[in-house]
Structure 1
Amino acid sequence: MKRLTILLAALLAAGCAAGPPDSCPAGLTPGVRAEAFFGRSAAGVQVVDDAGWAAFLDQVVTPAFPDGLTVLDAAGQWRGSTGQVAREAAKLLVVVLPGADAAQAADRLAPVASEYRERFGQESVLLLAAPTCLRF
């Protein structure tokens, strides 16, 4: 939880809380692009298999973002609390929230990240949120 709190505070302190761009080009509307990076290993062992991810997506992610989302397969690398570099398969969740700001995106992603960490014993989930212009 400490890492998530620090990440959310950093997002807000960096000026993301100001919200979407003041103006977007014709035909585009302001919003936020939010991303969450979910590692699938713990202590070098894959703990989130395809069935586990699919259940998490159905039970947690989809209800949190019923209007739509994108999930991509990724390969991640990071330095954990032990100081060792870990490489692992990951999932990247991308959501676009029309009319939202970074604080609202963080509020919506926080419980998803928290549930993932608890369910799969993960140390952290990286969250990003940035103002954008969009059109569907």
Structure 2
Amino acid sequence: MIRFLFLSALTSLCGCAIAPPACAPGQQAMLVAELLFGRNIGDRPGISEADFSRFVDQEITPRFPDGLTILDGRGQYRDAQRNALVREQSKLVTIALKDEPDGRARIGAITEAYKQRFNQQSVGTILKPACVSF
């Protein structure tokens, strides 16, 4: 399943078109990006609420000023090098965006900024077509 999600996200980030859904009146076809941010640094908790808030203010909000949603989560994954299950606090950021190369590039820039700033191996990224109204 993880490989499927990774390949789906990778395909989405490459600029490949996703068929837009047939939306009801009053809705528009968009993408919904779900970004999965782990908060451990190495084997230890390390990214505080204040750290994450600063990251949102400096990296995410400037790229998506129209809005987003942030949820607290608890994630887990298998560390292949140690063959161990790792559990950590996490953040799920959801953003609705137009399906355009610029939006995909901004998502990619956010994930790269997080990996560099907090020494992370990856940021889970899921892109899916959706019908959206506000």
Instruction: Give the TM bin, normalised by the shorter chain.
Output: 0.7 to 0.9
Instruction: Give the percent of matched residue pairs that are identical in Structure 1 and Structure 2.
Output: 35
- TM-superposed CA distance for 1:50, in Å, is 1.1
| Higher percent of residues as helix | 1
Task: Give yes or no for the alignment of 1:112 onto 2:110.
Answer: yes
TM-score in terms of structure 1 length: 0.82
Deviations 1:62-101 (A, max 9, x none): 101101011000000012342321100000000011xx22
Give the unaligned 5+ runs of structure 1. Answer: none
Deviations 1:13-41 (A, max 9, x none): 8xx623422x2112211111111000000
Match of 2:58 in 1: 59
- TM-superposed CA distance for 1:8, in Å, is 4.3
Give the unaligned 5+ runs of structure 2. Answer: 1-5
Match of 2:94 in 1: 94
C-alpha distance in structure 2 between counterparts of 1:59 and 1:43, whole Å: 23
Match of 1:73 in 2: 72
TM-score in terms of structure 2 length: 0.83
C-alpha distance in structure 2 between counterparts of 1:102 and 1:81, whole Å: 34
Task: Give yes or no for the alignment of 1:125 onto 2:126.
Answer: no
Match of 2:36 in 1: 37
C-alpha distance in structure 2 between counterparts of 1:85 and 1:7, whole Å: 23
Aligned length: 128
CA-atom RMSD, angstroms?
2.4
8 Å CA contact 1:19–1:101 kept in 2: the answer is no
